[in-house]
Structure formats: structure tokens, C-alpha cells
Chains A and B, each alone.
Chain A
Amino acid sequence: MSTAVRARRREALTAYGFLTPWLIGLIVITIGPMLASLYLSFTQYDLISAPKFTGLTNLRNLFNDPQFWTSVTVTLRYVVISVPLVLATSLLVALFLNRAIRFLGLYRVLFYLPSLIGSSVAIAILWRVVFGADGIVNKVLALVGLHHDSWIGDPSTSLYTLIALNMWAFGGTMVIFLAGLRQVPTNLYEAAAVDGAGWWAKFWHITLPGISPLIFFNLLLNTVHAFQSFTSAYVISGGNGGPANSTLLYTVYLYQRGFVDFRMGYAAAMAWLLLIVLAIFTAILFATSRFWVHYRGDEQ
């Protein structure tokens, strides 16, 4: 055996030494539970008696469960409305800030602050008060002569308070766009200006393609996160997704079934459905990306 082979073997052993904690985590905390979750989704399990294999019963019950469909509708509305709004707001503000402006560093910090604290319970509590019957939103509306009841207590508006909260925390996305805008080569704009291109033409033909990888990244991340939001909806609705199930996000319903009713099999089936939906969404997004995401040649 040559020394090279021996060195290689030693290196592999060392590598697996370094990887040991991660590998244990991967097997015991990630892949093991993933597979267990898949198995449980075909069983009935209440944590006390042994899991009972029931085949596709969970899936059939899910599809016949009106509350499940409510949670799907609520979640889709939440995602489809809030993600484009967050992306558009972030991009607009980033475009606005992407000029020679003094104090940019300070502004960036202030815009970013909400995304740091947006998913905390403290802000959820604040939101309950801000959008309450006597909250500051209604106080501002009263100044211009408009009167409204609690935005949280009204099932037709409650979901929009959650969407507003998600939008409020647009700073994280904005900071990524801002970084991208500053890397679009300025000579492209100069060349376009020589050719007489207007503001819109520059935006459409230079800016948008230039930051399309970041649009892709932000769209993917924001959508995946929005599908999984839990804390704000749970705290603002007092844990039940109310009023009248109007804020029953998928994860809140999953939590109720799994950890309030202890229907573990049912919750596991819901979790795997979510995984499949997100996987399909991600695959579609990646498949379409080659039509609209442009990577500059001078980058790797």
C-alpha cells in the first residue's frame, strides 16, 4: 500500500471525525424523523397507545375536513397576497435608496430593524393593540373622519393585519435587493444613456435582468417562509386561528391537530403534504428560472 493511499484513508477518517456531530444530527434529528413522519402519516397515533396503521385514512379524512380546506385557503391567500407585496415594496424602496444619498447606512439599519423583531411575540402583542378597536390605526383613520372597528376582531380584515405584519418586515428583503442593485455595472447605464434610453427602458432592460437572481432568491425564500409562518398568527389569534378561522394558517392548524388534539398521524400527514407542495413549488420555480433569471457572464 502506498503512502498516498494511506494518507487518503487517514484524511477520510479525520473528516468523518469532524462530521460526527453533524452526521448524528442528520440521522437522528432530520432524516430519521422525516421518514418516521412519512410512516406516521399512514397511522393513527395519540402518543399513548402504539401507532395503528390505517393506510390512506388520514389523507381521506383530510380531504373531507372543511377546516383543513379553510386553512389551505387562508394560507394561500396569505402567501399570494403578501409575498408579491413584500417583493414589490422591497424593490421600490431599494431603488429609491440606491442613489448617492447620505446616511444610507443609518437608513438601511432603520429599515432592517422590523425584520429582526417582526416574528417576535412582543410585536404580535403590539399588533393586537395597534389594529385593535381603539388602536393607533383607527386613531389615525379617525383624524381623517373614518371609523372602523377592530381589524383583528373582524374576520374579513384579520388576515390583512397578518399580511401587514409580514409587509412591515420587508427590510430584510430590501437589504438584499439594495446589495444587488449596487452591483449592476454602472457602465451599462452610461451606455444606455448615450443611446437615449429613458428611465423605464433602463429599469426594464438593465436593472431587472441585473438583479433577477436576487428576485428569484427572495421570491423562493419569502414564499417558503410565508408558508411556514406560525408565531404571529398564533399569538394574535390567541392560538385558535380566529376569529371564525380567518387566520387559521396551515401551521396553526397542524399545531392544533398534532399538539392540542394529539392526532400525531393526522399532523404528520399535513406536514408531508406541505413538504410536497413546497417541493413542487420550488421545482417549478427552478424550471422557469432559466427563462427569466440572468447570470452575468463575468460572474461565476
Chain B
Amino acid sequence: MTGVRPDTDLVPAAQTTTFPMGVLTRRNRNPVIKAIARHAVTIAIVIVILYPVVWMIAASFRPDGQIIGRLGLLGSFTTAGYRHGWAPDSSLHFSRFFLNSFVIAALSVVGNIFGCTLAAYAFARLRFPAKRILFGILLATLLLPYQVTLVPQYILFAKLHWLNTYIPLVLPRFLGVDAFFVFLNVQFIRAIPRELDQAALIDGCSSWGIFRRIILPLSLPAIGATAMFTFINSWNDFLGPLLYLSNPSKYTVPLGLNLFIDSTGTSSLGSLFAMATLSLVPLIGFFLASQRLLVEGISTTGIK
């Protein structure tokens, strides 16, 4: 797969005579007006799409009584929702849920990188019996619906007395269970020139040494994408914690939010909105910090 061309290829419509596509050139309307119209339509779509999120952020800073029933963004300003939702003395104590979510996400990221890169190196570089069959199985499990393994996994973890611990959420990551990320890393490692391995081999490196000194440092983009998407998946995961965690002190942020809807009426909507907004911050923060890597990663590998 070839990468996306970087944005610098794109020349503003008004300054160029050769368009990437010859579609526009036939017409002789003013290209500046066309460009403005195009931006106006795009911005309008963006506003329609993102307005609900902006509205939620604005609503999270308004008092409880001013949240529902307004279309606009303005109202009295308060941070009460944030303070109440975060406070350790409130019934729902989101500082705890955020800490739990971060611990699970961090362990998942470490685990997924460990499990996936090890397996990926073997598939991409080493020769061993049954390789084709195992790689075929890996590809087959890419599209396996998670429900098929859900019930017995639950039974297994219940029999091991691991319910209400983070083990069921984290251990599978260390075992590279998510075939997609193994595949992603295999594809990436395959593209690293083999001459580097051979040079290291001549210098006396073992397979482990090649993996550690050559492959890992050179596949940092793939590892970065793995880390990012593992974090996002883990942070958004609802079903896993819902199944395995029953003690509220162990709850993750999504479970806490869901509990919040059940246990409160419309009375503390401010806190609900504040905590919902806060739960999006790590996602959006990580995304913006690495959007280039991420969006180009998606368009070339197809992760969603």
C-alpha cells in the first residue's frame, strides 16, 4: 500500500493553472469564488456535525437548570458540575473512575505492544513450520465477531475468580489477541529492509538482538499507531468493564457515566455533562497531538 500524499502537494486553487484533476479547468467561472463557495459548504457541514459536541461542552459550564431546552451556547457560567463530579466526597467520584480508566488503558497499551510486536516479528521475518497455517488463522480471526468468544471467556475468568479485577480486561492484550494489530505490525516490519537484519547478524546479533535493536526502533510508527488505537479502544470500551467489573470503586469512566444516568434524574445534568465532556478530553487530546500519524495511518491501513 502506498501512503497518502502529504498535504503540501495541494496548491490553493486560485494560484494554480494545473489542477490535480482536470475537472474544474473546463469551466471559466472565477476560481476564487469557486474556492470560497467550496470552503463555505465544507465549513457548514463541519458546523452541523460538530455543533452537538460544542453544545455539550458549553452546557457543561452552565447551572443544572439552564442545560436542557436551549439551542444556543450561552448562559450563566459555573464550574459546579466539574467540581461536584470530580469531588471524592460525592456519591460518584469520577477522579477514581478516571484513574481506573487510565490504569487499564496504560496496561492495555503496554500489553498490546508486547504481544503484537513479538508475534509480528516472527511472522514477518522468521521461517518456521506451520507458518502459513498460523498466518491464515491470524487473518481469519480478523473478522471474528467478539460475541462468539464472549460467553466462554466470561466463564473462564469467573472460574479463575478474576471477576471484579482488571485481569480479564488487560491479560488478553499481553497475549496479542487483537489480530488486527498483529497484522498491522507484520505489514510494517515486512517493509523494513532485510539488509539491516543481515548486517546485524554479521555483527553477531541474535534474533532477539535484531528484534530489539533493529526492528523495534524502526517500526515505531506502527507501534505508535498500535498504542494510539489501543488507548482509544480501551478508553471507550464499555462492554468489557460492564461484564467484568461490579464494584463501583473499580469502575471505569464509561461505566461511571452510565451509572450516573441511572442513578440521577435530570437534577444533576450539569455534573453528567461535565464528566462526559471530561471523558472526551484524553481521546481528543491524544488525537490532535498525533493526528497526522493517526489519520494517515487510517487511510493507509483501514483501522477505524
A: residues with CB less than 8 A from B are 8, 11-12, 14-16, 18-22, 24-26, 28-34, 36-37, 40, 47, 93, 96-105, 107-117, 119-123, 125-126, 128-130, 132, 134-136, 139-140, 143, 168, 172-173, 175-176, 178-179, 182-183, 186, 189-190, 193, 199, 202, 217, 220-221, 224-225, 227-228, 230-231, 234-235, 238, 251, 254-255, 258-259, 264, 267-268, 270-272, 274-275, 278, 282
Contacts and interface: CB of A to CB of B under 8 A. Distances in A.
B33 interface: no
Given A117-B284, A255-B239, A47 B52 contact: no
List the 3 shortest-distance A-B pairs measured between CB atoms, nearest first.
Answer: A25-B175, A179-B299, A22-B119
Contacts of A225: 304
Interface stretch (B21-29, B77-85, B102-110): B21-29
A183 B20 CA distance: 11
Interface of B is mostly: helix
Contacts of A271: 145, 147-148, 150-151
Contacts of B232: 116
Contacts of A173: 304
A160 to B, nearest CB: 16
B5 A182 contact: yes
18 contacts: A18-B119, A25-B174, A26-B177, A36-B151, A101-B38, A107-B46, A108-B295, A117-B283, A120-B235, A120-B254, A139-B71, A176-B298, A190-B22, A227-B145, A231-B254, A235-B238, A270-B147, A278-B145
Contact of B128 (A16, A117, A172, A270): A16
Contacts of A227: 145
A101 B174 CA distance: 43
Contacts of A143: 71
A270 B150 CA distance: 11
A264 B152 CA distance: 9
B276 A109 contact: no
Contact of A121 (B24, B128, B238): B238
Given A99-B24, A221-B302, A228-B147, A33 B152 contact: yes
Given A12-B127, A15-B127, A282-B143, A100 B16 contact: yes
Given A18-B119, A21-B174, A37 B258 contact: no
B147 A254 contact: yes
Contact of A19 (B119, B143, B211, B280): B119
B213 interface: no
A230 B238 contact: yes
A120 B236 contact: yes
B2 interface: yes
Interface in B268-297: 269, 272-273, 276-277, 279-280, 283-284, 287-288, 291-292, 295
A109 B69 CA distance: 30
Contacts of A274: 145, 147-148
Chain B interface size band reads 35 or more
B298 A130 contact: no
Contact of A217 (B118, B155, B302): B302
Interface of B: 2, 4-5, 7, 10-13, 16, 19-24, 26, 35, 38-39, 41-42, 45-46, 49-53, 55-56, 67-71, 114-116, 118-119, 121-122, 126-129, 131, 134, 137, 141, 143-156, 158, 172, 174-177, 182, 207-208, 211, 232, 235-236, 238-239, 242-243, 253-255, 257-258, 261-262, 269, 272-273, 276-277, 279-280, 283-284, 287-288, 291-292, 295, 298-300, 302, 304
Contacts of A8: 127
A121 B254 contact: yes
Contacts of B119: 18-19, 21-22
Given A104-B7, A122-B254, 20 more contacts: A14-B126, A14-B207, A15-B127, A19-B122, A29-B153, A32-B152, A33-B149, A33-B151, A99-B23, A100-B12, A105-B7, A112-B298, A113-B50, A121-B253, A129-B269, A132-B68, A172-B304, A179-B299, A186-B21, A199-B23
A225 B233 CA distance: 14
A232 to B, nearest CB: 9
A275 B46 CA distance: 37
Contacts of B276: 121-122, 125-126
Contact of A179 (B26, B236, B269, B300): B300
